[in-house]
Structure 1
Amino acid sequence: MPEVSLNNTLGAAFLGTIATSCFYGITVVQTYIYYKRNGTDPAYLQALVFFLWVMDSLHLALVVHAVYFYAVTNFTNVFMLDIPIWSILSQILVTGVSDGAVRGVFCHRVWRLSNRNYVLVVAISISSLIVFSGSIAFAVKGFSIPTFTALSEISDILYISLGSGVVADVLIAGSMCFLLAKRRTGFTRTDSIVRVLMMYSINTGALTSMAALLTLLCYASMPNNFIFIAFYFVLPKLFLNSLLATLNARQPLRESGSGDMVSFPLSATTNSRLSFSAGRPQFTQSLTNRDDQRNLQIQIQTTTDTKSDPDPHGVVDEELKPWPVYARTETPIAFAV
């Protein structure tokens, strides 16, 4: 066994566990928001979100067990740091299943946005399947290897799996940005929504691909410490939070695309006035002691241009189809008192 340093072995695993726990807290909050906002989603999607949350909880439990085993149970036995305990290998299996499911959702979204573009979907599916199968194979073979040092015998599987993960994430982010850019209509409000969706896609691909790339580089350059494990602990949390963030953003984006609702008070006063400033009504009134009251008559003339597209988030609610992405009021409100 090489010389052991607690800072880059047990210390790295401990820091990775802290980061994993923090991201799990965000996952819990986002899961709660999802079920509160999206009760009309299809049953299969709600079941998938619940399954991913369960897998994420199991992943955290396995990570905590592994770090507890090395840091507490074998506090004085540094040689145990070279023994891969079952929980640290099992979390690789959980990560493979969870990440595969999340990539499947993103792949389905690309499928819908691209109008069933087989080339994009096949490329993403192949790279995602390589990641999934590589994770399972590495974990299964790892159970038969006695030490972390001996994991170098199957390091090729890890390289291929992590490398394919980077490719898959870049393909997903790039495809989403390209397909969303094609949906620009020239309407300010619609293009603003498209830009937000593109930002989500870029952040999703950037965070996950960066974490996978750091894991790959750290393992290639420092295979005898746990720094690569710290990055790998965080990887599934980034995937799930990226998915939940895009799912939870649907309602605010729909509301921003449906226009603003303006209300103003009406009272039986004289000398009332309604004026417009920058397209929005402003209500002012002056109070008098007169007993006479006049009738308020409001004439509303509106012209609405509506453009409807499939929900670019991959899920179309039956009650919300078609999805209005732009509405414009041509003629202001006219009134006479």
Structure 2
Amino acid sequence: MAEIPVVHLVLDDTLGAMFIGVVVAAALWGVSCVQAWYYYNHYRVDLWHIRLLVTAAFITDTIHQMLITHTLYVYLVTNFGNPLILDSLVWSLLVEVLFNGLTALMVQLFFTIRIWKLSERSIAVTLCVLLLVLAEFGTVFAYTVKALHFSTFTQLAELKALSMTVNALAAAGDVVIAAVLCTVLHRARTGFQHSNNVINRLMIFCVNTGLLTSICAVLSLITISALPNTFIYIAFYFASGRLYLNSLLATLNARRSIHNKPVGPSNFSESISLSFREGTTGLRTAGAGSANTIIHGSHNVRSIGQKTSNGGISVKIETETVQEYPGENDIETLSSVSMSKFPVDLEVGSPTKPKPIA
């Protein structure tokens, strides 16, 4: 009986790279689960559309993890010992591209809305970022539709240019979003130490969260260009979706630490109103200021006019305390730079007690 020759296949840079990509993606999905649990337990009063966004992004990311796991199972288990499968496309490997793109789209749209609010609703800036984000998803959708008509990797190679465009737009979108956020945050500096410290932390956080997804997209672009006959670029693409979801959850979960405040009432500022009177003429000049600037809430300064029988100075100091809960107001961490105020009256007048104007 003749011996059957054993064929030794080198799969390190193909299925081996895909295997590593699935393992890394699974580990990052585990991190996403922990972050999602933390979010739902600590930010229960967030705006409904933010909670819906987190839920939708987590679902699409989970489906993506299921699809790439199915792909690996078909190649390594179902078709174990079948070398002919190596050039065949599994449907789940093509569909996963769409779900990865959906996750990226939702996260990038979230940051685009932050840019719109932070840039004082600048249509030009927001539109540029939005077009880049939509262009990326458009190429992802086109790639998926075209790829579903193919059955082998040899045919899929025809879409190399489109695949490179997807990764290039992804990297460009992440870099532009991070750069614009840092720019508008830098312009929001007030000169007060507390607010500047918060803004600095926000800028560093924006760079760090956008950096990981950008690096992943760039590495995928480089490997598909330099090593088109391997699956190394697929490994990087598998991990990109997890990084998008983790960047969203990390941004939402870091709001307390960025503000460096405990749960409950905390931040406050004071508004001081002064009015100068001459007799009973009612002529007054008012000025007001705030001692602290906080990225939270709103600021309103009021001047209370008073008549005095003698010339005098009326001073009104308002301190208003607002019960804060970690929730929908915290979402403005990346959307507004404004004042927070907190209500007790103290009036100091002339020797003759002033009477308030009706």
The alignment's TM-score, normalised by the length of structure 1, stands at 0.77
In the alignment, structure 2 segments of 5+ residues that lack a partner are 1-7, 267-288, 298-326, 343-358
C-alpha displacement of 1:306:
3.0
Rg bigger for which structure? 2
Q: Does structure 2 retain, via aligned residues, the 8 Å contact 1:254–1:323? A: no
Q: Counterpart in 2 of 1:15?
A: 20
Count of residue pairs brought into register by the alignment: 282
C-alpha displacement of 1:319:
12
Q: Counterpart in 1 of 2:144?
A: 139
Q: Does structure 2 retain, via aligned residues, the 8 Å contact 1:177–1:201? A: yes
Q: Does structure 1 retain, via aligned residues, the 8 Å contact 2:294–2:340? A: yes
- 1:39 is aligned, of 40, 44, 52, to 44
C-alpha displacement of 1:20:
0.3
Q: Counterpart in 2 of 1:6?
A: 11
1:273-307 CA-partner distances (Å, limit 9, x unpaired):
xxxxxxxxxxxxxxxxxxxxxxxxxxxxxx98232
- 1:68 is aligned, of 35, 52, 73, to 73
C-alpha displacement of 1:253:
2.6
C-alpha displacement of 1:324:
5.7
Q: Counterpart in 2 of 1:292?
A: none
Show the 5 A alignment for 1:113-128. 113-128=118-133
Alpha carbons of structure 1 residues 95 and 187: separation in structure 2 relative to 1, 3 Å: same
**Structure 1 range deviating more: 246-255 or 132-141:** 246-255
C-alpha displacement of 1:227:
0.5
C-alpha displacement of 1:56:
1.1
C-alpha displacement of 1:4:
6.0
Q: How far, CA to CA, are the matches of 1:257 and 1:185 in structure 2?
A: 23
Paired residue secondary structure (2:13): coil
C-alpha displacement of 1:188:
2.3
Q: How far, CA to CA, are the matches of 2:263 and 2:48 in structure 1?
A: 26
Q: Does structure 2 retain, via aligned residues, the 8 Å contact 1:259–1:326? A: no
C-alpha displacement of 1:13:
0.7
Q: Does 1:110 align with 2:127?
A: no
Show the 5 A alignment for 1:134-173. 134-173=139-178
In the alignment, structure 1 segments of 5+ residues that lack a partner are 262-302, 328-337
Identity rate of aligned residues, in percent? 34
- 2:291 is aligned, of 281, 301, 305, to 305
Q: How far, CA to CA, are the matches of 2:164 and 2:9 in structure 1?
A: 24
Q: How far, CA to CA, are the matches of 1:176 and 1:15 in structure 2?
A: 33
Q: How far, CA to CA, are the matches of 2:261 and 2:188 in structure 1?
A: 17
2:329 aligned partner, one-letter code = V
1:134 aligned partner, one-letter code = T
Q: How far, CA to CA, are the matches of 2:147 and 2:332 in structure 1?
A: 49
The alignment's TM-score, normalised by the length of structure 2, stands at 0.73
Q: Does 1:222 align with 2:208?
A: no
Show the 5 A alignment for 1:91-110. 91-110=96-115
1:206-248 CA-partner distances (Å, limit 9, x unpaired):
1111111111111111111111100000001011101110111
Q: How far, CA to CA, are the matches of 1:180 and 1:81 in structure 2?
A: 49
**Structure 1 range deviating more: 156-165 or 7-16:** 156-165
- 2:257 is aligned, of 252, 255, 268, to 252
Paired residue secondary structure (1:81): helix
Q: Does structure 2 retain, via aligned residues, the 8 Å contact 1:34–1:244? A: yes
RMSD of aligned alpha carbons = 2.9
Q: How far, CA to CA, are the matches of 1:319 and 1:229 in structure 2?
A: 36
Q: How far, CA to CA, are the matches of 1:166 and 1:180 in structure 2?
A: 21
Paired residue secondary structure (2:46): coil
Q: How far, CA to CA, are the matches of 2:331 and 2:123 in structure 1?
A: 26
- 1:77 is aligned, of 69, 78, 82, to 82
Q: How far, CA to CA, are the matches of 2:332 and 2:232 in structure 1?
A: 48
Q: Does 1:241 align with 2:246?
A: yes
Paired residue secondary structure (1:316): helix
C-alpha displacement of 1:310:
5.5
Paired residue secondary structure (1:252): helix
Q: Does structure 2 retain, via aligned residues, the 8 Å contact 1:96–1:135? A: yes
Q: Does structure 2 retain, via aligned residues, the 8 Å contact 1:258–1:324? A: no
Q: How far, CA to CA, are the matches of 2:17 and 2:331 in structure 1?
A: 48
Q: How far, CA to CA, are the matches of 1:318 and 1:64 in structure 2?
A: 34
Runs of 4 or more above 6 Å deviation: 257-261, 318-323
Alpha carbons of structure 1 residues 35 and 154: separation in structure 2 relative to 1, 3 Å: same
Q: How far, CA to CA, are the matches of 1:137 and 1:177 in structure 2?
A: 32
1:35-73 CA-partner distances (Å, limit 9, x unpaired):
112111111110111111111111111111101111111
